[in-house]
Structure 1
Amino acid sequence: MALPTLASGILTLPLVGPAGALGIMFAVSFPYCMRVIAPITLLNFLNLASQNGILIKDGRSLELLNQVDTVVFDKTGTLTQEQPHVGKIYALAHYSEELILSYAAAAEAKQTHPIAKAIRQEAMDRGLKSPEAEEATYKMGYGLHVKIGTHAVRVGSTRFMALEGLAIPTQIEVIQNDSHEQGCSLICVAIDDQVAGAIELHPTIRQEAKQIIRSLQQRQMPIYIISGDHEQPTRKLAASLGIDHYFAETLPENKAALIEQLQAEGKSVCFVGDGINDSIALKKANVSISLRGASSVATDTAQVVLMDESLKQLDKLFDLSKTFDTTMKNGLRVMVVPNIFGIGGVLFLHFGFLPAALFYYLGMVMGLGNSMLPVINDQKET
């Protein structure tokens, strides 16, 4: 704006004299006010976001969010929680469901992975007391072998049972195939040298997911799911959340390509992901969001991090973006109007330098007041 400002003063100098020309230069240079007001406005909104548990690492994302018209969710760890929950318990022969679950909980008593936590939680919910387990032997990625009283108990995948030399009953094989088709996993429990039963684990949909999806749909935003699972479980999840679009059986390296495909169709995409294999897709999206507690690669790459480790503040984030856009536009208006009066006053009412400067600073003060309004309103609400 330096050149237009100087040019306006030179061009109006013969018409209004030196004092008027200086006044014109002041009035025309109102965009300089935006260089002061815009950062203050942005800082206020970053502060409001942080108070609501939202870390915005890239200020541009606050503006870009208002242009987003498509939201894409990664499934695992984003729409579903890391810890699954127990669905069905299958007991074979003369064994009971309670015995299968209590033995599995005893074997997993000192384990910290999500599957162990899910099994122990189910046993606790059913009021079962787990016996003491001894001589635990853990095979990474397969399962574990413990001694409970006089019994040798094995808990793990069918592959682990096969490695231990145990025969897999046909019934268990059928159950496992059906579970995998539904997007569930199966944990076998063997007592002594016989597979006694199995525990089916279901992915746990985040409690807030349905409400957030509904809120986004009210904003007229198409929503997509990207999942590496098979077609049937992905379709089932999408239907349960009321989502019409999904990509199933997606390889990690293809997630970014799907984001680019949507962008090629003219969509502005916000991608929400939390895994290591989401990093490229997060980078490609117009706006990227991750959750606290996600992989460090995802949180480092994402422009926005939801600090309460849930999706609850996603709707608030879009509200802040819309309010930010409105505040910036109003700020421009309240600064332009006084300076237009200043220009008109110099040209037609023979204002000198001082009145024009007063209109200029009036615009500055009004712009500052406008930038503080969201903070003041938030304080009133709280």
Structure 2
Amino acid sequence: MKILAPLSLLNYLKIAAEHHMIVKDGRVLELLHEVDTIVFDKTGTLTHEQPYVMDIHVCGSYTATELLRFAAAAESRQSHPIANAIRQEAERCQLALPPLDDAAYEVGYGLKVAIGGQVIRVGSERFMAKEGIDVSPGLMAAQEHCHSHGYVLVYVAIDGTMGGAIELHPTIRPEVKEMIAALRQRQLDLYIVSGDHEQPTRQLAQELGIESYVAQTLPEQKAELIAQLQDEGKSVCFIGDGINDAIALKTAHVSVSLNGASTVALDTAQVLFTDGTLNPLLNLFELADDVEANMRRHVVCQFSSTPFVLIGVYAWQFRFFETLLLHTVGGFAGIANSLSPVFDKKWKASANGSGS
């Protein structure tokens, strides 16, 4: 068992690597078989950090194209996810962006830039109020809709007059809904934990059909939630990718992160999905099931020959050679069992399908 069990595990670790999973701690494949609760971080894990432009609401005499062009030009020097989303939408529409004459950025509020003699302000409702620009009645319905559903609304004002707003929605990873459905079939309890506000977190949970969620959490509160679940007797797998997830990743029985996550998360997590998606998650659980079954077969292989050896010695007067030969059969069976993962058609077919 000291030889055969590690040999089996090495083969399963090799299979994991071929399926975009780097398992840094071999015990994970044993612990996963006991996991009954999965806690997902929201932003960057279930959703991409960058949202997408869903709609452009205009008021006054400006068109949606002009509004997007002004906003993209104002955000041209910014690197945050909202700025990237606005610029990508402008690129998709093949808009030529005018150069900036002047720009000023107020952290947490918005941008004030000069373009061709016009003053363009892009930012939050709070920024517009600070600049003395009121939300026009035509935008009130869009504002209420976005607030009720947890969407982001970026306001654009031209020369001190409200021009409209850009509505951005979170981008859910395309594989998430199918994966959540498969995890439910395994009878797992699912949680969403987020530092975001209550409304967008609840909206995502409802869309994915996850009943349990916790919003507006600090990094240490995420770890406290996991510790609380574990104190209740649950075995928890936490999946996160941010700096603020490091404590929770360390606290959970099993921790998973994605390629492209923060360095702290990559260093702390026990499992890394190298393709940057959640697609390998189901394979990880199936692999853990196979490891458990393989180890059980090892026990059977090593001890099944013992009754036959004893019967042979006392009933059929086996000599040393026959006894040793019969006992060795169990050893060869164990070796075959250790090598069986390599020849498992399920994993070979899956690896070929993923282009490994």
Task: Pick from 179, 188, 191 the counterpart of residue 158 of structure 2.
Answer: 191
CA offset at residue 258 of structure 1? 1.4
**Aligned residue in 2 for 1:28:** none
Cα separation, 2, equivalents of 1:95 and 1:374: 64
> Shift of the alpha carbon at 1:40?
0.6
Say if 2:236 and 2:252, in contact at 8 Å, map to a contact too. yes
TM-score normalised to structure 2 length: 0.89
Quick check: 1:377 aligned with 2:344? Answer: yes
Among residues 109, 114, 129, which one is paired with 2:95 in the alignment? 129
Deviation at 1:177, TM superposition (A): 6.4
Q: How far did 1:138 drift?
A: 4.9
Greater CA deviation, 61-70 or 231-240? 231-240
Question: Match for 2:216: what amino acid?
Answer: E
8 A contact 1:183–1:229 mirrored in 2: no
In the aligned structure 1, how far is the partner of 2:147 from the partner of 2:289? 42
One-letter amino acid matched to 1:183: G
Structure 2 SS opposite 1:204:
strand
2:201 corresponds to which residue? 234
1:146 and 1:380 mapped to 2: Cα distance?
57
Percentage of matched positions with identical amino acids: 49
Q: 1:313-332 CA distances to partner (integer Å, 9 max, x unpaired)?
A: 11111111111111111122
Matched residue SS, 1:340: helix
**Per the alignment, do residues 231 and 108 of structure 1 end up closer, same or farther by CA in structure 2, a change over 3 Å counting?**
closer
- CA–CA distance in 2 between the matches of 1:356 and 1:347? 11
1:58 aligns with 2:7: no
- CA–CA distance in 1 between the matches of 2:146 and 2:171? 15
Q: Deviations over 1:35-62 (max 9, x none)?
A: 0001111111110000000111111011
Report the Cα offset of residue 153 of structure 1. 2.4
TM-score (norm 1): 0.83
What is aligned with 1:310?
277
For 1:12-31, list aligned pairs within 5 A. Answer: none
Matched, 1:360 2:319: no
2:170 aligns to what?
A: 203
Residue 328 of structure 1 pairs with residue 271 of structure 2: no
Consecutive unaligned residues in structure 2, runs of 5 or more: none
Q: Is the 8 A contact 2:219 2:248 kept in 1?
A: no
Distance of 1:371 and 1:140 partners within structure 2 = 61
Q: How does 1:336-351 map to 2 (within 5 A)?
A: 336-351=303-318
1:200 deviates by: 2.1
Residues 73 and 100 of structure 2 are in contact (CA less than 8 Å); yes or no, is this contact kept in structure 1? no
Q: What CA RMSD, in Å, does the superposition of the two structures yield over aligned residues? A: 2.3
Distance apart, 1:227 and its partner CA: 2.3
Whichever of the two has the greater Rg, that structure is 1
**Number of residue-to-residue matches in the alignment:** 347
Matched letter for residue 135 of structure 1: D
- Counterpart check, 1:75 vs 2:42: yes
Could you give the per-residue CA deviations for residues 302-352 of structure 1, whole angstroms, max 9, x where no partner exists?
111111111111111111111111111112212221233223323333333
